[in-house]
Amino acid sequence: MSDPLPKYWQSLAERAGDLGALAQTQDEFAEPLPVGVAATPPDANSRRDFFKLMGLSAAAAMVACQRAPVQEIIPYVARPDEVTPGLALWYASTCNGCSARCGLLLKTRDGRPIKVEGNDEHPVSRGGVCAVGQASVLSLYDASRARYPTRGATRVSWTDLDADVTQALRKATEAGKGIRVVLPWHLGPTAEAAVKRFLAAYPTARTVRDEALGELSAIADAHRVTHGVHAVPDYRFDKAAVIASFGADFLGTWVSPVAFTRQYAESRDAARRRTMSRHFQVEPVMTLTGAAADRRFVVAPSDVALVLADLVRRLAVKAGREVPGLGSLPPPALDEAARVELADSLWAQRQDALVVAGGDDVATQVLANVANALLGNEGHTVSLADGTALDADALSLGTLLTELRAGSVGAVLFMGANPVYSDPRGAELAALLKDVPLTLSTSDRRDETAVHVGLHAPESTALESWGDAEVRRGVVSLRQPAVAPLHETRSGVESLLQWAGAPQPHYDFLRARWEAEVFPQASGLGQGFIAFWDDALRRGVVTLGAAAAEAPAFREEGLAKALASVARHAAEWELVLYPTVALRDGAPANNAWLQEVADPITKVTWGNPACIAPARAKALGLKDGDVVQVRAGSTTLSVPVLVQAGTHPSVIAVAVGYGRTQAGRVADGIGVNGYPLSAVVDGRARRTVPGVTVQATGEQQPLALTQTHHRLEGRPHVREAELAAFLANPRAGNEVQAGHGGGGHSLSLWSGHEYKGHRWALAVDLSACTGCSACVVSCQAENNIPSVGRDEVLRRRDMHWMRIDRYYQGDEANPQVVHQPMMCQHCENAPCETVCPVLATVHSSEGLNQQVYNRCVGTRYCANNCPTKVRRFNWFDYEHAEPLERMVLNPDVVVRSRGVMEKCSMCVQRIQESKAAANREGRPLRDGDIQTACQQSCPAKAIHFGDVNDPDSQVARLAKDGRAFRLLEELNIGSSITYLTKIRNTGSGSGT
């Protein structure tokens, strides 16, 4: 019988049936190492040689009897009143990992933060947390952070540093020299108030706003042209019936991906809404958002703006209006039928349509604004009135360089900015700083910019300091510390106030501003400020009842000038520099969790290869790992190649955020720094560079890829259906499923399990999952999963208990993508249990496949017999080199020692904790009381956990859904994980 399901593939070698390449991945325990990898593991002798010498039985006995490393504990001399040993304390706070400022809950045990979760009460992020936010707790304990202020490389006191700064600032003011404060765009209201206080104290002071990726400033500059306000609007993907994205990776890294992911998932919940939004993506490189699109068009980078201009022209014709500046633009290199479909789909929805654009090109952003104005969606799917205003008077980095060359600057303060690393003019900036009397950085480490300044005033991390944010008008969140500063650091707000001559603790300044400015807008609550403040601290966020602001009107003056730069830049090669979901602009690069999480699209860890199209690779004879030289202007970069499906043939794409030299021992020397290849156009650094040259070097560099050895050998593991087919038949795309609840085959050698109480299970909605990998990092943080490093990943020894499998379907030039979270399936008839000689893996009375670490002797039989390849062997004692880094460990989960198998436990510690809490309260467990780490962090709410024996639980209802299927039903393993078929809305037989 032929398989009715479409064929999926994980790599180009698998699609092509390259037996030579596939043979290298057949042996999951292969000992031969890739080229360039050391032949000796960290221990003096390899485990395999040890077994050869000692014999399996003796070795097994010795490993089984090995004690875990001894660690001393120190009891409290005087226990704080609010701390109960063994019980967690939670603090509501706000993430500082990017401009999105999501709401957080910080979990502390015995005074130390150990876990980050999302705050369900935050109306924007709504309980979701991205991978960067999840990993922020590890960055708190980063041993490479600066621990005290310095003058040059010499330690100084804060008193001496403050005296040096104020004296130098006074001299600069008296001499009429400029004082420049280099800041990111995304500061909170209280931090901006401190900046204004500093500027008021020094008449010659101005702000310089630096943004490594340039997207926020481009959006704000475009709205200054079209609406007269320098602001980033509030986008509402949940209200959009049709979405057209032009290079905006809004599910991955653009503006506020956590909030957008939740909105996007809700707009595409076909099972609940009986309809779903339709998503068009126009882009040159496969992004996380492009992977989720219903219709994806691959165009050259220089054609993205032209396709958008063509759309604007068509919408203008439909609206009976004329847009200045579009008359002479050439047609884009995109099929006419596709352009007609895009325009017609958007116009059919008008107010319920949304157009967004990514990148740092202001003209492209202006075109997106014009398209939205023609659709009339202001106040519905896009709202400037609810957006965030940015500093309209700030100088650019280009202006600062001009001033530095002229010698008119007497002081430069870098606060949260690292332009020496992230700007192509960084080397020139570093050289010019030598002639400035006062240079200072507040970075949390001596980074690439800080090593070129005279004074370093290290700032506390977001988990150690106060702050606030307002990412949507009227939604104000607080950031409160979960721990006192671990080192001799202080907040940047306190530093600014000190240097402005108005010293005040950050907390006092924040509280006073809230009492004077925030509380009056919420005075209708009928409570005093103290009660309001306490409630705000408890909840972490306040929604104000401010009167709705009037949206600024669209204006056409200046459109022709703004669009004059839109043109085709035809070139043999075009460079695209892009951020990843893990490292973003590179600020969190010294975080091993983020370095090791596989990129959702490329599946690369510990590095940033150059992605090129399969057709171009074949023409040039390039394969994965071949090193090429990329030259842009006078800058040359050597980087290995990754042949990536869905890439335009003219593109070579390199992720930014890598190639750090002063980040710390984890990040330094990992990958290459792509920022110097950026082009400077009209004083702005641009991340799309036409006209680069690419030349092979003949060298090879292995890539630390995952998912090269986790294949299901062509079995039907993911399923999908078109919206129209699903509406007609709830089992569409899932017809091969023979049954639900216990597997399609009833014949078995086993009598089966009886569950008189709970039976725990998971359900994963493939339609909601975007592959963002927040769940992977959350699982790692919750379960003390070690980061193993690049060499171990090359040996196929990655340790993640869950992974996100990425599958392609169709043409390699533009394939469709499905993401599938994969963890231990907790099989009813678990193949691992039957082969374990020491009963180290057993079935619990509540349906969990349990791993008993002190029984395991490391035979690896269970891993060999696992059909889904989700078990991990712990090869080494992955110890933290610094005692401080051990503080991140979760005391509820044992730290495993060498020689045992590991895997997903469905967060059994959380199950037991919730059961104990319910027992103390004298009530039964409620559905939703228990959330696994992966479930709680998921921005899309794609993962559901519960008791399948409870017919009213969500996981039980989903297990009976028409879309429900389980893996490898033909093997009769009886998986406890239910997957739900992915639904697409490509328009085949159905609109929205």
CA 403, 404, 410, 411 dihedral sign is positive
Contacts of 955 (CB under 8 A, 6+ apart): 761, 762, 763, 944, 945, 946, 947, 948, 978
Q: Quick one: how far is CA 321 from the chain centroid?
A: 40
Look at residue 364 in the predicted model and tell me its pLDDT. 97
Q: Name the residue range of residue 266's domain.
A: 231-388
What one-letter code names the amino acid at 96? N
Residues 799 and 929 in one domain: yes
How far apart, in whole angstroms, are the C-alpha atoms of residue 740 and residue 720?
17
How far apart, in whole angstroms, are the C-alpha atoms of residue 548 and residue 385?
8
Rounded average pLDDT over 340-358: 97
* Domain termination site, one of 388, 413, 431: 388
CA 312, 314, 320, 324 dihedral sign is positive
Of 355, 356, 353, 342, the residue nearest 380 (C-alpha):
353
Region of residue 657 (left: phi > 0; alpha: psi -120 to 50; beta: else):
left
Lowest mean pLDDT among 338-347, 702-711, 854-863: 702-711
Residues 805 and 863 in one domain: yes
Helices 397-406/426-433 angle, 10° precision: 40
Residues 806 and 904 in one domain: yes
Task: Let me know how many helices (H) and strands (E) the chain has, helices first.
Answer: 31, 42
Look at residue 547 in the predicted model and tell me its pLDDT. 65
Asked if residue 124 lies in contact with residue 104, where contact means CB atoms within 8 angstroms, the answer is: no
Average pLDDT taken over every residue of the chain:
90
pLDDT band at residue 835 using 50, 70 and 90 as cut-offs: very high
Task: Give domain status of residue 837, yes or no.
Answer: yes
Q: Is the pLDDT of residue 677 over 60?
A: yes
Q: In the chain, what's the furthest Cα-to-Cα distance? A: 90
Look at residue 16 in the predicted model and tell me its pLDDT. 75
Residues 784 and 894 in one domain: yes
Token digits of residue 786: 């070690």
Look at residue 545 in the predicted model and tell me its pLDDT. 78
* Domain termination site, one of 543, 561, 589: 543
**Angle at CA 422, nearest 5°, toward 418 and 425?**
100
Number of domains observed in the structure of the chain: 4
β-bridge pairing 205-209 and 353-357: unpaired
Q: Is the pLDDT of residue 879 over 80?
A: no
pLDDT band at residue 53 using 50, 70 and 90 as cut-offs: very low
How far apart, in whole angstroms, are the C-alpha atoms of residue 756 and residue 281?
50
Contacts of 73 (CB under 8 A, 6+ apart): none
β-bridge pairing 150-151 and 455-456: antiparallel
Asked if residue 100 lies in contact with residue 258, where contact means CB atoms within 8 angstroms, the answer is: yes
Contacts of 921 (CB under 8 A, 6+ apart): none
How far apart, in whole angstroms, are the C-alpha atoms of residue 857 and residue 811?
46
| CATH classification of the domain holding 816 | 3.30.70.20
- H runs (alpha helix) in 463-577: 492-499, 506-513, 529-539, 559-562
pLDDT tens track for 905-930: 999 999 999 999 999 999 999 999 99
Residues 163 and 244 in one domain: no
Look at residue 35 in the predicted model and tell me its pLDDT. 45
Of 857, 865, 784, 852, the residue nearest 825 (C-alpha):
865
Look at residue 74 in the predicted model and tell me its pLDDT. 45
Q: Is the pLDDT of residue 750 over 60?
A: yes
Q: Is the pLDDT of residue 463 over 90?
A: yes
Look at residue 739 in the predicted model and tell me its pLDDT. 43
pLDDT band at residue 427 using 50, 70 and 90 as cut-offs: very high
- H runs (alpha helix) in 715-836: 723-728, 774-782, 790-794, 831-835
**pLDDT > 70: percent of the chain:** 89
Question: Counting Cβ atoms within 10 Å, is residue 557 exposed (0-12), middle (13-18) or buried (19+)?
Answer: exposed
* Domain termination site, one of 338, 356, 388: 388
Look at residue 546 in the predicted model and tell me its pLDDT. 66
Q: Is the pLDDT of residue 111 over 70?
A: yes
Residues 678 and 717 in one domain: no
How far apart, in whole angstroms, are the C-alpha atoms of residue 983 and residue 722?
6
Look at residue 248 in the predicted model and tell me its pLDDT. 98
Task: Give domain status of residue 691, yes or no.
Answer: yes
Q: Is the pLDDT of residue 529 over 80?
A: yes
Look at residue 523 in the predicted model and tell me its pLDDT. 65
Of 425, 418, 402, the residue nearest 452 (C-alpha):
418
Task: Give domain status of residue 562, yes or no.
Answer: no
Look at residue 11 in the predicted model and tell me its pLDDT. 80
Asked if residue 367 lies in contact with residue 341, where contact means CB atoms within 8 angstroms, the answer is: no
pLDDT tens track for 172-224: 999 999 999 999 998 999 999 999 999 999 999 999 999 999 999 999 999 99
Decide: helix, strand or coil at residue 612: strand
Q: Which residue has the higher pLDDT, 8 or 845?
A: 845
Look at residue 81 in the predicted model and tell me its pLDDT. 60
Question: Counting Cβ atoms within 10 Å, is residue 79 exposed (0-12), middle (13-18) or buried (19+)?
Answer: exposed
Look at residue 969 in the predicted model and tell me its pLDDT. 87
Name the pTM for this structure. 0.93
Residues 885 and 977 in one domain: yes
| CATH classification of the domain holding 687 | 2.40.40.20
| CATH classification of the domain holding 476 | 3.40.50.740
Look at residue 94 in the predicted model and tell me its pLDDT. 97
pLDDT tens track for 925-964: 999 999 999 999 999 999 999 999 999 999 999 999 999 9
How far apart, in whole angstroms, are the C-alpha atoms of residue 849 and residue 780?
19
How far apart, in whole angstroms, are the C-alpha atoms of residue 12 and residue 119?
40
pLDDT tens track for 225-268: 999 999 999 999 999 999 999 999 999 999 999 999 999 999 99
Look at residue 782 in the predicted model and tell me its pLDDT. 97
Q: Is the pLDDT of residue 669 over 80?
A: yes
Look at residue 55 in the predicted model and tell me its pLDDT. 40
Rounded average pLDDT over 837-866: 94
Token digits of residue 509: 């300044």
Task: Give domain status of residue 817, yes or no.
Answer: yes
Residues 401 and 484 in one domain: yes
Task: Give domain status of residue 272, yes or no.
Answer: yes
pLDDT tens track for 275-323: 999 999 999 999 999 999 999 999 999 999 999 999 999 999 999 999 9
Residues 743 and 636 in one domain: no
Of 676, 691, 611, 645, the residue nearest 302 (C-alpha):
691
How far apart, in whole angstroms, are the C-alpha atoms of residue 389 and residue 550?
14
Residues 467 and 602 in one domain: no
How far apart, in whole angstroms, are the C-alpha atoms of residue 446 and residue 458?
8
Q: Is the pLDDT of residue 65 over 60?
A: no
Task: Give domain status of residue 833, yes or no.
Answer: yes
Q: Look up tokens 């060498």; give the residue.
A: 898
CA 903, 104, 448, 446 dihedral sign is negative
pLDDT tens track for 678-710: 999 988 999 999 999 999 999 999 999 987 766
Look at residue 32 in the predicted model and tell me its pLDDT. 45
Residues 397 and 462 in one domain: yes
β-bridge pairing 626-632 and 635-643: antiparallel
Task: Give domain status of residue 90, yes or no.
Answer: no
Distances (CA, A) of 296 to 245, 339, 726, 827, 919: 10, 12, 21, 37, 52
- H runs (alpha helix) in 568-660: 592-596, 614-620
Residues 668 and 776 in one domain: no
Task: Give domain status of residue 842, yes or no.
Answer: yes
